[in-house]
Amino acid sequence: MSELFKITKTPIDVNELIQHVTRRKAGAITTFIGTVREWTNGKKTLRLTYEAYIPMAERMLSQIGQEIKKRWPDTEAAIVHRVGTLEITDIAVAIAVSSPHRKAAYEANEYAIERIKEIVPIWKKEYWEDGEAWIGDQLETVSYPEGKPSDLQLAAKEGDQHD
């Protein structure tokens, strides 16, 4: 077991990710696998391109790992996000969390994907039959209404109250 919070240009190996959180203390491992969806709101996606500010993205993934440890003390997390061109059904992101009991593993895993969508500098460009566009703000909230991120988006390692 070793820390794994990384951006990769090659296909994600989920089993390898699981290995990173496997330990004798764990009684549960949850995995989340985010894949490229063909249809969104009636629009057909042909493929996606993901771009990242790689060193900072890895730093933020690692921060999410630390936030998880604070909120669910006995967990271990590993996260890999892919960049480059992805086809429909390809794996874009995979998250594995292990814990002694299943509840924490489920909760922490969901927390991880929500935080990725808030703070990790990764961008998705969708290609359709009739055009292309960078997609912003997957949470479908008003993004940075005051021209700056909210406390929640900035919440750092300590005292994070995100819920």
Binding site for another protein (CB under 8 A): 34, 50-53, 55-57, 59, 81, 92-93, 113, 116-125, 134-138, 143-144, 147-149, 153-154
DSSP helix/strand/coil, 1: coil
The distance of closest approach from Cβ of residue 72 to another protein in the complex, given in angstroms and rounded to an integer, is 20
Q: Which is nearer to another protein, 73 or 136 (CB)?
A: 136
* Tokens 């290995």, located at residue: 19
Distance from C-alpha of 92 to C-alpha of 86, rounded to nearest angstrom: 8
The distance of closest approach from Cβ of residue 9 to another protein in the complex, given in angstroms and rounded to an integer, is 15
The pairing of beta strand 76-82 with beta strand 5-8: parallel
Distance from C-alpha of 107 to C-alpha of 87, rounded to nearest angstrom: 29
Radius of gyration in angstroms for the set of CA atoms belonging to the chain, rounded to a whole number: 16
Q: Which is nearer to another protein, 128 or 134 (CB)?
A: 134
Q: Which is nearer to another protein, 76 or 118 (CB)?
A: 118
Q: Which is nearer to another protein, 53 or 106 (CB)?
A: 53
